Amino acid sequence: MKFAIVILNWNGEALLERYLPLVVKYSGDADIYVADNASTDGSVAFVRQNFPNVNLIQNSSNNGFAKGYNDALKEVDADIYCLLNSDVEVTPGWLEPVKETFLKLPEASIIQPKILDLLRRDYFEYAGACGGFLDKFGYPFCRGRIFQAIEKDEGQYDDTIEIFWATGACMFIKSDVFHALGGFDEDYFAHQEEVDLCWRAQNKGLKIYYVGASHIYHLGGSTLSNMNPKKTFLNFRNSLYSITKNLPRKKAFPIVFIRLILDGIAAIRFIIQLKPAHCWAILRAHLSYYRHFVKMYRKREKANFVTKYYKTKSIVWSYFVDHIRNFNILVKD
């Protein structure tokens, strides 16, 4: 299998200077690409001057994560793409367990490693942790991270299991699968486009795995912090997009209605917390969703929509009412 590591960059010269050397050092014979989204800093010059063996792809404009990767991957020849954030510190031997899993489990189409926090290295990281799941109402959460509750890594998730979605911070995907799925939905721009991609893969009967024997460290928040109002807007809106596109009609419409109520409660909670910008972001997310509803509905694919896609009926109830902060307790519950 031919591996290609593709790092999407936008004005991230400082991140490339810090983390790219380790990618080069620890990635063996994998081809390495930096796909630049029309940066205006010195990113391109830095790569050319310091890493002549790293392939450089220059996108003509910054159209976000989704289109940035869609455009770049058209120019990458590989069996397996590794989509890697520019703020990730890779570790010695990080690729080997993933390669072994692809060989051992030929049905695996997408794989995610363990994601640890670069600043608190014995804790999981917000974006992906140990693999993603959804609740019945389409809210994403992770093994090792439920909302803002992040677990300490004590070896409890060192296994290899099937998951529902893999994080875009570090996602390995077979190239033929990526292109067969049509890549990322560019209407998402950024955030939860990987959830949608994985959901579409699930609807086609493809398998997604988490491999705990491989681990990396993620800085996180280098583009948008997880409490940035713009990220709140994108996460809430794009989640509704995914529900509309990927659930059977009889399930999608009731869930969107319930989400209107639940998201409204979330908005009120932001007001109580004196965070009006986040409340406004949720309102704008719904307005944008309703404005683009017809377009999203037309994207629904003729597929056998999956039904067993969640580990809990309501992660909101489990977290805020039952006060569950641990994934293993959540599953037992």
- Confidence tier at 254 by pLDDT (50, 70, 90): very high
Residue 265: predicted pLDDT: 95
Closest to 285 measured CA to CA, from 192, 165, 148: 192
Q: Give the residue-averaged pLDDT of 269-279.
A: 95
Q: Give bridge partners of residue 124 from the DSSP assignment.
A: 116
Instruction: Give Cβ neighbours of residue 324 (< 8 Å, ≥ 6 apart).
Output: 146, 318, 330, 333
Helices 229-246 and 249-272 meet at what angle, rounded to 10? 160
Residue 80 near residue 30, CB atoms below 8 Å: no
Give the per-residue pLDDT at 46: 98
Strands, DSSP E only, in 85-144?
Answer: 88-89, 108-117, 132-134, 140-142
CA-based R_g, the chain, Å = 19
Q: What is the Cα–Cα distance from 114 to 90, expressed in whole angstroms?
A: 11
Domain ranges (residues) in the chain: 3-218, 229-310
Per-residue pLDDT of 84-110, as tens digits, reads 999 999 999 999 999 999 999 999 999
The average pLDDT across 135-157 equals 95
Provide mean pLDDT across the span 145-158.
Answer: 96
Residue-level pLDDT at 332: 75
For domain 3-218, the CATH class is alpha beta
pLDDT confidence bin for 78, thresholds 50/70/90: very high
Q: What is the DSSP string of 221-235?
A: -SSS-TT-HHHHHHH
Tell me how far apart the alpha carbons of residues 10 and 147 are, in angstroms, rounded to a whole number. Answer: 27
The fraction of the chain above a pLDDT of 90, given in percent, is: 88
Residue 109 identity (one-letter amino acid):
S
Q: pLDDT tens, 8-61?
A: 999 999 999 999 999 999 999 999 999 999 999 999 999 999 999 999 999 999
Q: Report the SS3 class of residue 188.
A: helix
> Which stretches within the chain are classed as H helix?
13-26, 43-50, 64-73, 96-104, 175-180, 193-203, 229-246, 249-272, 276-291, 293-298, 315-320, 327-332
Average pLDDT, the chain: 94
* pTM recorded for the entire structure: 0.94
Sign of CA dihedral 213, 325, 285, 134: positive
Residue-wise pLDDT tens digits, 181-236: 999 999 999 899 999 999 999 999 999 999 999 999 999 865 555 678 999 999 99
Q: Which residue has the tokens 């029309």?
A: 38
Half-sphere exposure of residue 137, counting CA atoms within 13 Å on the CB side? 18
Q: What angle do CA 279, 281, 283 make, to 5 degrees?
A: 75
- Summarize pLDDT for 17-32 with one digit per residue, the tens: 999 999 999 999 999 9
Name the β-bridge partners of 160.
Answer: 211
DSSP 200-221: HHHHTT-EEEEEEEEEEEE---
Residue 317 is predicted with a pLDDT of 92
Q: In angstroms, rounded to a whole number, what is the distance separating the alpha carbons of residues 148 and 77?
A: 38
Mean pLDDT confidence for 112-117: 98
How much is the pLDDT for 68? 96
Q: Per-residue confidence at 309, pLDDT binned at 50, 70, 90?
A: low
What pLDDT does residue 250 have? 87
Q: Is the pLDDT of residue 264 over 60?
A: yes
Please report the pLDDT score of residue 20 as a whole number: 98
